[in-house]
Amino acid sequence: MSRRLTTAALAALLLSGAAQAAQPLIIDVHRDANCGCCKDWITYLENNGFEVRDHVERNMNTVKQDLGVKPRLASCHTGVIDGKFVEGHVPVAQILELRKRPDLLGIAVPGMPAGSPGMEYGDVKHPYQVIGITRTGRERVIANYPLEQAAH
């Protein structure tokens, strides 16, 4: 009897351990059917260990409005992770940071800057910022790309 309990407890432990180790980060991505760079961003996320739930939308404006993405911060696709929005071609590093920031409602890379993930054109790297939107409606610069090299 006690032996059976121990086996069950051990199995439960192993299962939870395995689930934890293999658990990918799940992100919902809303996009227009004909958006090629949106698909490239999705591929980029998948290559970085995310599980993407792809949602093809008829009206992206409504989606953005509902999630609280201001028009001037808008890009093409809109991701949602942990109930927070990820607008546009945001790099993975800032998505991971967003998950640790309870003060933020979402983050955005406005427009579609060349050189951002999913917007690669050879060596072209236009400067862009990742903007965080706080729960009180303020905007904060989360990162500047291309990332500046640390001085040695």
Residue 31 CB, shortest distance to Cu ion, in Å, is: 9
- Please tell me whether residue 98 binds Cu ion under the rule CB under 5 A: no
Strands 104-108 and 128-134 turn out to be antiparallel
- Please tell me whether residue 130 binds Cu ion under the rule CB under 5 A: no
- Return the half-sphere exposure (C-beta side, CA atoms, 13 A cut-off) of residue 128: 22
Cβ proximity to Cu ion, 110 vs 132, nearer residue: 110
What is the separation of C-alpha 61 from the centre of its chain, rounded to a whole number of angstroms? Answer: 19
Torsion over CA: 115, 117, 38, 105 (sign) = negative
* x/- letters, 68..97, toward Cu ion (CB under 5 A): --------x---------------------
- Please tell me whether residue 112 binds Cu ion under the rule CB under 5 A: yes
Residue 103 CB, shortest distance to Cu ion, in Å, is: 27
Task: Please give the single-letter amino acid code of residue 101.
Answer: R
Distance of CA 82 to CAs 25, 104, 111, 142, Å?
Answer: 10, 11, 23, 18
> Applying CB under 5 A, which of residues 27, 37, 107, 133 lies at the interface with Cu ion?
37
- Please tell me whether residue 133 binds Cu ion under the rule CB under 5 A: no
Residues near Cu ion (CB under 5 A):
37, 76, 112
